[in-house]
Amino acid sequence: MAMMRLRREDPRVVGSFRLHRRLGAGGMGVVYLGSDRRGQRVALKVIRPDLAEDQEFRSRFAREVSAARRIRGGCTARLVAADLEADRPWFATQYVPGPSLHDKIAEEGPLSAADVAAIGAALSEGLVAVHEAGVVHRDLKPSNILLSPKGPRIIDFGIAWATGASTLTHVGTAVGSPGFLAPEQVRGATVTPATDVFALGATLAYAAMGDSPFGHGSSEVLLYRVVHEEPHLQGVPDALAPLVRACLAKEPEERPTTLQLSLRLKEIAAREAQGLGMAPQPPDGRPPAPRPERAERLARAERSTGPRGGRAQPRPTERYPERSAQRTPAPRHQGGQGSRTGGSSRPRRNASHPGPRTGPRTGPRRTGPGTGTGAGASSGLRRPANPRLLRQRLFVFVVVTLVVLLGIAGAQALQG
Protein backbone atom coordinates (compact mmCIF):
# COMPACT_ATOMS: atom_id res chain seq x y z
CA MET A 1 0.00 0.00 0.00
CA ALA A 2 1.43 3.37 -1.08
CA MET A 3 2.19 5.83 1.70
CA MET A 4 2.38 9.60 1.52
CA ARG A 5 3.73 12.19 3.91
CA LEU A 6 1.31 13.97 6.20
CA ARG A 7 0.03 17.25 4.91
CA ARG A 8 0.00 20.47 6.87
CA GLU A 9 -3.73 20.21 7.57
CA ASP A 10 -3.54 16.56 8.73
CA PRO A 11 -3.70 15.87 12.48
CA ARG A 12 -0.65 14.37 14.18
CA VAL A 13 -2.49 12.64 17.03
CA VAL A 14 -5.97 11.09 17.03
CA GLY A 15 -7.17 9.56 20.29
CA SER A 16 -4.29 7.50 21.67
CA PHE A 17 -2.73 6.97 18.24
CA ARG A 18 0.15 8.91 16.70
CA LEU A 19 -0.18 9.38 12.93
CA HIS A 20 2.82 8.77 10.64
CA ARG A 21 1.71 8.60 7.00
CA ARG A 22 -1.28 9.00 4.72
CA LEU A 23 -2.54 5.72 3.28
CA GLY A 24 -5.28 7.16 1.08
CA ALA A 25 -8.48 9.16 0.88
CA GLY A 26 -12.03 8.20 -0.10
CA GLY A 27 -15.64 9.25 0.01
CA MET A 28 -15.80 8.98 3.82
CA GLY A 29 -12.53 10.61 4.76
CA VAL A 30 -8.78 10.12 5.00
CA VAL A 31 -6.98 6.95 6.09
CA TYR A 32 -3.73 7.27 8.06
CA LEU A 33 -1.06 4.91 9.26
CA GLY A 34 -0.84 5.23 13.03
CA SER A 35 0.55 3.43 16.06
CA ASP A 36 -0.28 3.25 19.74
CA ARG A 37 2.08 3.44 22.70
CA ARG A 38 2.94 -0.25 22.41
CA GLY A 39 3.93 0.15 18.77
CA GLN A 40 0.89 -1.61 17.33
CA ARG A 41 0.23 -0.24 13.85
CA VAL A 42 -3.30 0.62 12.76
CA ALA A 43 -5.12 2.02 9.75
CA LEU A 44 -7.07 4.97 11.16
CA LYS A 45 -9.85 6.62 9.18
CA VAL A 46 -11.06 10.12 10.07
CA ILE A 47 -14.52 11.06 8.77
CA ARG A 48 -14.95 14.11 6.52
CA PRO A 49 -16.12 17.30 8.29
CA ASP A 50 -19.33 17.57 6.22
CA LEU A 51 -20.36 13.99 7.10
CA ALA A 52 -19.49 14.59 10.74
CA GLU A 53 -22.20 17.28 10.87
CA ASP A 54 -24.88 14.88 9.53
CA GLN A 55 -26.67 13.38 12.54
CA GLU A 56 -28.28 10.64 10.46
CA PHE A 57 -24.86 9.60 9.24
CA ARG A 58 -23.51 9.57 12.80
CA SER A 59 -26.33 7.28 13.96
CA ARG A 60 -25.84 4.83 11.14
CA PHE A 61 -22.09 4.99 11.53
CA ALA A 62 -22.47 4.09 15.21
CA ARG A 63 -24.59 1.03 14.36
CA GLU A 64 -22.10 -0.15 11.78
CA VAL A 65 -19.15 0.20 14.15
CA SER A 66 -21.05 -1.69 16.82
CA ALA A 67 -21.71 -4.54 14.38
CA ALA A 68 -18.10 -4.51 13.17
CA ARG A 69 -16.90 -5.13 16.71
CA ARG A 70 -18.65 -8.50 16.65
CA ILE A 71 -16.88 -9.74 13.54
CA ARG A 72 -14.43 -12.54 14.25
CA GLY A 73 -12.36 -14.07 11.51
CA GLY A 74 -8.87 -14.12 10.06
CA CYS A 75 -9.97 -12.69 6.70
CA THR A 76 -11.05 -9.29 7.97
CA ALA A 77 -9.15 -6.34 9.36
CA ARG A 78 -10.02 -6.38 13.06
CA LEU A 79 -11.56 -3.22 14.53
CA VAL A 80 -9.19 -1.88 17.21
CA ALA A 81 -10.78 1.36 18.46
CA ALA A 82 -13.31 4.03 17.53
CA ASP A 83 -14.61 7.36 18.83
CA LEU A 84 -18.15 8.09 17.70
CA GLU A 85 -18.57 11.27 19.77
CA ALA A 86 -15.54 13.16 18.53
CA ASP A 87 -15.95 16.30 16.45
CA ARG A 88 -14.79 14.20 13.51
CA PRO A 89 -15.64 10.54 14.25
CA TRP A 90 -12.89 8.03 13.56
CA PHE A 91 -12.19 4.33 13.77
CA ALA A 92 -8.99 2.31 13.68
CA THR A 93 -8.53 -1.18 12.28
CA GLN A 94 -5.62 -3.56 12.27
CA TYR A 95 -3.00 -2.47 9.73
CA VAL A 96 -2.62 -4.99 6.91
CA PRO A 97 0.69 -4.78 5.00
CA GLY A 98 0.48 -5.59 1.33
CA PRO A 99 -1.00 -4.25 -1.91
CA SER A 100 -4.66 -4.21 -2.75
CA LEU A 101 -6.00 -6.72 -5.25
CA HIS A 102 -6.65 -3.80 -7.61
CA ASP A 103 -3.01 -2.66 -7.49
CA LYS A 104 -1.76 -6.24 -7.83
CA ILE A 105 -3.74 -6.76 -11.05
CA ALA A 106 -2.76 -3.35 -12.40
CA GLU A 107 0.95 -4.08 -11.93
CA GLU A 108 1.19 -7.81 -12.75
CA GLY A 109 -1.90 -8.61 -14.81
CA PRO A 110 -4.60 -11.26 -14.29
CA LEU A 111 -4.03 -14.09 -11.82
CA SER A 112 -4.02 -17.81 -12.55
CA ALA A 113 -7.10 -19.95 -11.94
CA ALA A 114 -5.50 -21.54 -8.87
CA ASP A 115 -4.68 -18.14 -7.33
CA VAL A 116 -8.12 -16.72 -8.08
CA ALA A 117 -9.81 -19.77 -6.53
CA ALA A 118 -7.57 -19.64 -3.43
CA ILE A 119 -8.24 -15.93 -2.88
CA GLY A 120 -11.95 -16.44 -3.48
CA ALA A 121 -12.13 -19.30 -0.96
CA ALA A 122 -10.49 -17.17 1.73
CA LEU A 123 -12.75 -14.20 0.97
CA SER A 124 -15.83 -16.43 1.13
CA GLU A 125 -14.81 -17.59 4.60
CA GLY A 126 -14.33 -13.99 5.64
CA LEU A 127 -17.79 -13.05 4.39
CA VAL A 128 -19.29 -15.94 6.34
CA ALA A 129 -17.92 -14.34 9.53
CA VAL A 130 -19.13 -10.88 8.46
CA HIS A 131 -22.66 -12.12 7.75
CA GLU A 132 -22.82 -14.11 10.99
CA ALA A 133 -22.18 -10.82 12.82
CA GLY A 134 -25.21 -9.29 11.13
CA VAL A 135 -23.21 -7.11 8.73
CA VAL A 136 -23.42 -6.90 4.95
CA HIS A 137 -20.28 -5.48 3.40
CA ARG A 138 -22.08 -3.70 0.53
CA ASP A 139 -18.84 -2.42 -0.99
CA LEU A 140 -16.69 -5.44 -1.79
CA LYS A 141 -14.34 -4.68 -4.67
CA PRO A 142 -10.66 -5.20 -5.59
CA SER A 143 -9.51 -2.00 -3.87
CA ASN A 144 -11.09 -3.16 -0.59
CA ILE A 145 -9.16 -6.44 -0.56
CA LEU A 146 -5.59 -6.34 0.73
CA LEU A 147 -3.17 -9.18 -0.09
CA SER A 148 -1.20 -9.69 3.10
CA PRO A 149 1.52 -12.32 3.60
CA LYS A 150 -1.01 -14.30 5.67
CA GLY A 151 -3.73 -14.19 3.01
CA PRO A 152 -6.33 -11.72 1.69
CA ARG A 153 -8.03 -9.35 4.11
CA ILE A 154 -11.32 -7.49 3.71
CA ILE A 155 -11.39 -3.84 4.74
CA ASP A 156 -14.07 -1.12 4.95
CA PHE A 157 -16.89 -3.59 5.52
CA GLY A 158 -20.41 -2.22 5.61
CA ILE A 159 -19.58 1.32 6.73
CA ALA A 160 -19.03 3.28 3.53
CA TRP A 161 -22.50 2.68 2.06
CA ALA A 162 -24.03 4.63 4.95
CA THR A 163 -23.63 7.83 2.96
CA GLY A 164 -26.58 6.78 0.77
CA ALA A 165 -27.31 6.29 -2.88
CA SER A 166 -26.44 9.89 -3.82
CA THR A 167 -22.72 9.05 -3.65
CA LEU A 168 -22.87 6.00 -5.94
CA THR A 169 -21.50 8.01 -8.84
CA HIS A 170 -18.17 8.54 -7.08
CA VAL A 171 -16.32 5.73 -8.80
CA GLY A 172 -13.37 4.35 -6.85
CA THR A 173 -14.41 5.82 -3.52
CA ALA A 174 -15.13 3.76 -0.42
CA VAL A 175 -18.87 4.22 -1.05
CA GLY A 176 -18.97 1.75 -3.93
CA SER A 177 -18.08 1.30 -7.56
CA PRO A 178 -20.95 0.78 -10.03
CA GLY A 179 -19.24 -2.19 -11.73
CA PHE A 180 -19.30 -4.14 -8.46
CA LEU A 181 -22.70 -3.18 -7.06
CA ALA A 182 -25.51 -5.73 -7.13
CA PRO A 183 -28.72 -5.04 -9.08
CA GLU A 184 -30.75 -4.75 -5.87
CA GLN A 185 -28.43 -1.98 -4.70
CA VAL A 186 -28.98 -0.09 -7.93
CA ARG A 187 -32.76 -0.47 -7.59
CA GLY A 188 -32.67 0.66 -3.96
CA ALA A 189 -33.97 -2.67 -2.67
CA THR A 190 -32.96 -4.32 0.60
CA VAL A 191 -29.41 -5.64 0.70
CA THR A 192 -28.71 -9.17 1.93
CA PRO A 193 -25.66 -11.45 2.13
CA ALA A 194 -26.40 -12.34 -1.50
CA THR A 195 -25.44 -8.74 -2.32
CA ASP A 196 -21.88 -9.48 -1.22
CA VAL A 197 -21.91 -12.69 -3.28
CA PHE A 198 -22.59 -10.64 -6.43
CA ALA A 199 -19.73 -8.28 -5.59
CA LEU A 200 -17.44 -11.24 -4.90
CA GLY A 201 -18.29 -12.75 -8.30
CA ALA A 202 -17.45 -9.46 -10.02
CA THR A 203 -14.21 -9.26 -8.02
CA LEU A 204 -13.16 -12.79 -8.99
CA ALA A 205 -13.92 -12.03 -12.63
CA TYR A 206 -11.76 -8.92 -12.37
CA ALA A 207 -8.89 -10.94 -10.85
CA ALA A 208 -9.11 -13.54 -13.64
CA MET A 209 -9.54 -11.13 -16.59
CA GLY A 210 -7.91 -7.93 -15.36
CA ASP A 211 -11.10 -6.04 -16.16
CA SER A 212 -14.65 -5.57 -14.91
CA PRO A 213 -17.20 -8.08 -16.26
CA PHE A 214 -19.43 -5.12 -17.16
CA GLY A 215 -16.79 -3.18 -19.09
CA HIS A 216 -16.12 0.54 -18.93
CA GLY A 217 -18.16 3.69 -19.22
CA SER A 218 -19.97 6.27 -17.16
CA SER A 219 -21.62 5.37 -13.90
CA GLU A 220 -25.05 5.42 -15.52
CA VAL A 221 -23.93 3.04 -18.29
CA LEU A 222 -22.36 0.58 -15.85
CA LEU A 223 -25.39 0.62 -13.57
CA TYR A 224 -27.66 -0.11 -16.54
CA ARG A 225 -25.48 -3.06 -17.59
CA VAL A 226 -25.48 -4.47 -14.07
CA VAL A 227 -29.28 -4.51 -14.00
CA HIS A 228 -30.17 -5.42 -17.60
CA GLU A 229 -27.19 -7.07 -19.34
CA GLU A 230 -25.26 -10.29 -18.85
CA PRO A 231 -21.62 -10.10 -17.71
CA HIS A 232 -18.76 -10.73 -20.13
CA LEU A 233 -16.67 -13.66 -18.83
CA GLN A 234 -14.70 -14.66 -21.94
CA GLY A 235 -11.36 -14.39 -20.12
CA VAL A 236 -12.39 -16.34 -17.01
CA PRO A 237 -10.91 -19.90 -16.88
CA ASP A 238 -13.34 -22.71 -17.62
CA ALA A 239 -12.97 -24.12 -14.09
CA LEU A 240 -14.24 -20.83 -12.61
CA ALA A 241 -16.63 -19.45 -15.22
CA PRO A 242 -19.82 -21.38 -14.17
CA LEU A 243 -19.36 -20.46 -10.52
CA VAL A 244 -18.62 -16.79 -11.28
CA ARG A 245 -21.65 -16.63 -13.56
CA ALA A 246 -23.83 -18.06 -10.79
CA CYS A 247 -22.58 -15.35 -8.40
CA LEU A 248 -23.56 -12.67 -10.94
CA ALA A 249 -27.18 -13.82 -11.26
CA LYS A 250 -29.63 -10.92 -11.36
CA GLU A 251 -31.90 -12.37 -8.68
CA PRO A 252 -30.35 -12.73 -5.19
CA GLU A 253 -32.01 -16.09 -4.47
CA GLU A 254 -30.34 -17.62 -7.55
CA ARG A 255 -26.82 -16.98 -6.23
CA PRO A 256 -24.86 -19.53 -4.17
CA THR A 257 -24.24 -18.90 -0.49
CA THR A 258 -20.86 -17.88 0.85
CA LEU A 259 -20.44 -21.29 2.47
CA GLN A 260 -21.11 -23.07 -0.82
CA LEU A 261 -18.65 -20.72 -2.52
CA SER A 262 -15.96 -21.47 0.04
CA LEU A 263 -16.28 -25.24 -0.39
CA ARG A 264 -16.35 -25.13 -4.18
CA LEU A 265 -13.48 -22.67 -4.50
CA LYS A 266 -11.30 -24.73 -2.16
CA GLU A 267 -11.86 -27.77 -4.34
CA ILE A 268 -11.12 -25.83 -7.52
CA ALA A 269 -7.96 -24.32 -6.00
CA ALA A 270 -6.67 -27.75 -4.95
CA ARG A 271 -7.31 -29.30 -8.35
CA GLU A 272 -5.87 -26.39 -10.31
CA ALA A 273 -2.75 -26.36 -8.13
CA GLN A 274 -2.23 -30.04 -9.00
CA GLY A 275 -2.83 -29.38 -12.68
CA LEU A 276 -5.91 -31.62 -12.81
CA GLY A 277 -8.41 -29.05 -14.01
CA MET A 278 -12.10 -29.35 -13.21
CA ALA A 279 -15.29 -30.05 -15.09
CA PRO A 280 -17.98 -27.33 -15.05
CA GLN A 281 -20.19 -27.49 -11.98
CA PRO A 282 -23.91 -26.80 -11.68
CA PRO A 283 -24.74 -23.29 -10.39
CA ASP A 284 -27.47 -24.46 -8.01
CA GLY A 285 -25.19 -25.28 -5.09
CA ARG A 286 -25.68 -29.05 -5.31
CA PRO A 287 -22.55 -31.25 -5.29
CA PRO A 288 -21.66 -32.62 -8.73
CA ALA A 289 -22.30 -36.27 -9.55
CA PRO A 290 -19.22 -38.51 -9.36
CA ARG A 291 -17.35 -39.08 -12.57
CA PRO A 292 -17.78 -42.47 -14.34
CA GLU A 293 -14.21 -43.57 -13.63
CA ARG A 294 -14.58 -42.67 -9.97
CA ALA A 295 -17.86 -44.63 -9.74
CA GLU A 296 -16.16 -47.62 -11.36
CA ARG A 297 -13.30 -47.48 -8.87
CA LEU A 298 -15.75 -47.35 -5.99
CA ALA A 299 -17.63 -50.37 -7.37
CA ARG A 300 -14.42 -52.36 -7.69
CA ALA A 301 -13.46 -51.44 -4.14
CA GLU A 302 -16.81 -52.66 -2.84
CA ARG A 303 -16.49 -55.97 -4.71
CA SER A 304 -12.99 -56.52 -3.31
CA THR A 305 -14.05 -56.13 0.34
CA GLY A 306 -14.86 -59.09 2.54
CA PRO A 307 -18.25 -59.83 4.15
CA ARG A 308 -17.36 -57.85 7.28
CA GLY A 309 -15.93 -54.81 5.53
CA GLY A 310 -12.36 -56.09 5.60
CA ARG A 311 -10.41 -56.35 2.39
CA ALA A 312 -10.23 -59.82 0.89
CA GLN A 313 -6.75 -61.32 0.70
CA PRO A 314 -5.56 -61.75 -2.89
CA ARG A 315 -4.61 -65.21 -4.09
CA PRO A 316 -0.94 -65.90 -4.81
CA THR A 317 -1.59 -65.89 -8.54
CA GLU A 318 -3.13 -62.41 -8.23
CA ARG A 319 -0.17 -61.02 -6.32
CA TYR A 320 2.39 -62.67 -8.60
CA PRO A 321 0.85 -62.85 -12.10
CA GLU A 322 4.22 -63.42 -13.76
CA ARG A 323 4.79 -66.51 -11.60
CA SER A 324 1.36 -67.88 -12.53
CA ALA A 325 2.11 -67.47 -16.22
CA GLN A 326 5.45 -69.30 -15.92
CA ARG A 327 4.16 -72.17 -13.75
CA THR A 328 4.09 -75.65 -15.34
CA PRO A 329 1.48 -77.95 -13.79
CA ALA A 330 3.06 -81.16 -12.45
CA PRO A 331 1.44 -84.60 -12.92
CA ARG A 332 -0.20 -85.98 -9.79
CA HIS A 333 1.45 -89.41 -10.12
CA GLN A 334 4.96 -87.98 -9.61
CA GLY A 335 6.36 -88.04 -6.12
CA GLY A 336 8.08 -85.39 -4.06
CA GLN A 337 6.16 -82.49 -5.61
CA GLY A 338 4.25 -80.97 -2.73
CA SER A 339 2.73 -78.54 -5.25
CA ARG A 340 -0.28 -76.30 -4.76
CA THR A 341 -3.29 -76.71 -7.01
CA GLY A 342 -5.76 -73.95 -7.90
CA GLY A 343 -3.99 -71.43 -5.66
CA SER A 344 -5.12 -73.24 -2.48
CA SER A 345 -3.24 -72.45 0.71
CA ARG A 346 -3.49 -76.08 2.05
CA PRO A 347 -0.73 -78.52 0.98
CA ARG A 348 -1.90 -81.84 -0.45
CA ARG A 349 -0.30 -85.15 0.46
CA ASN A 350 1.00 -87.13 -2.48
CA ALA A 351 0.05 -90.80 -2.92
CA SER A 352 3.71 -91.80 -3.39
CA HIS A 353 4.42 -90.91 0.23
CA PRO A 354 2.30 -93.31 2.32
CA GLY A 355 2.44 -93.42 6.06
CA PRO A 356 0.81 -91.62 8.95
CA ARG A 357 1.27 -87.89 9.47
CA THR A 358 2.87 -86.93 12.72
CA GLY A 359 1.30 -83.48 12.83
CA PRO A 360 0.88 -80.25 10.90
CA ARG A 361 3.87 -78.85 9.12
CA THR A 362 5.31 -75.82 10.88
CA GLY A 363 8.53 -75.07 9.03
CA PRO A 364 9.05 -73.73 5.52
CA ARG A 365 7.87 -76.01 2.73
CA ARG A 366 10.43 -77.96 0.77
CA THR A 367 9.59 -77.70 -2.85
CA GLY A 368 10.69 -79.57 -5.88
CA PRO A 369 11.86 -78.17 -9.18
CA GLY A 370 8.41 -78.16 -10.74
CA THR A 371 6.36 -76.55 -8.04
CA GLY A 372 6.68 -72.90 -9.06
CA THR A 373 7.67 -71.90 -5.48
CA GLY A 374 11.45 -72.18 -5.40
CA ALA A 375 14.04 -70.48 -3.25
CA GLY A 376 13.10 -67.08 -4.60
CA ALA A 377 9.45 -67.32 -3.50
CA SER A 378 8.17 -64.75 -1.06
CA SER A 379 7.73 -65.74 2.57
CA GLY A 380 4.17 -64.42 2.33
CA LEU A 381 3.23 -67.72 0.55
CA ARG A 382 4.53 -70.02 3.34
CA ARG A 383 2.18 -71.63 5.84
CA PRO A 384 2.47 -69.92 9.27
CA ALA A 385 3.35 -71.94 12.41
CA ASN A 386 0.46 -73.60 14.25
CA PRO A 387 0.02 -71.90 17.65
CA ARG A 388 -1.74 -74.93 19.08
CA LEU A 389 1.18 -77.21 18.19
CA LEU A 390 3.65 -74.78 19.72
CA ARG A 391 1.70 -74.76 22.99
CA GLN A 392 1.61 -78.58 23.05
CA ARG A 393 5.35 -78.82 22.52
CA LEU A 394 6.01 -76.25 25.22
CA PHE A 395 3.80 -78.17 27.67
CA VAL A 396 5.62 -81.46 26.95
CA PHE A 397 8.98 -79.77 27.39
CA VAL A 398 8.01 -78.33 30.76
CA VAL A 399 6.59 -81.67 32.02
CA VAL A 400 9.69 -83.63 30.95
CA THR A 401 11.96 -81.06 32.58
CA LEU A 402 10.05 -81.28 35.87
CA VAL A 403 10.18 -85.10 35.84
CA VAL A 404 13.94 -85.07 35.25
CA LEU A 405 14.50 -82.59 38.03
CA LEU A 406 12.37 -84.60 40.46
CA GLY A 407 14.29 -87.77 39.55
CA ILE A 408 17.63 -86.12 40.19
CA ALA A 409 16.41 -84.77 43.52
CA GLY A 410 15.14 -88.22 44.56
CA ALA A 411 18.43 -89.88 43.66
CA GLN A 412 20.39 -87.35 45.67
CA ALA A 413 18.09 -87.94 48.67
CA LEU A 414 18.65 -91.70 48.55
CA GLN A 415 22.42 -91.30 48.40
CA GLY A 416 22.33 -89.01 51.40
- In order, the DSSP letters of 129-161 are HHHHTT-------GGGEEEETTEEEE-S-SSGG
Q: Give CA separation, 291 vs 265, 278, 297, 301, in Å.
A: 19, 11, 10, 15
Q: Give CA separation, 347 vs 250, 288, 300, 327, 341, in Å.
A: 75, 51, 31, 17, 9
Encoded amino acid at 121, one letter:
A
Q: Are 192 and 136 in contact (CB under 8 A)?
A: yes
139 is catalytic: yes
Whole-angstrom distance, CA of residue 265 vs CA of residue 120: 7
Q: Give CA separation, 193 vs 127, 131, 401, in Å.
A: 8, 6, 85
45 is in an annotated binding site: yes
Whole-angstrom distance, CA of residue 150 vs CA of residue 161: 28
Encoded amino acid at 317, one letter:
T
Pick the catalytic residue: 10, 139, 156, 196? 139
Question: Which residues are catalytically annotated?
Answer: 139
Q: Per the annotation, where are the binding residues for ATP?
A: 45
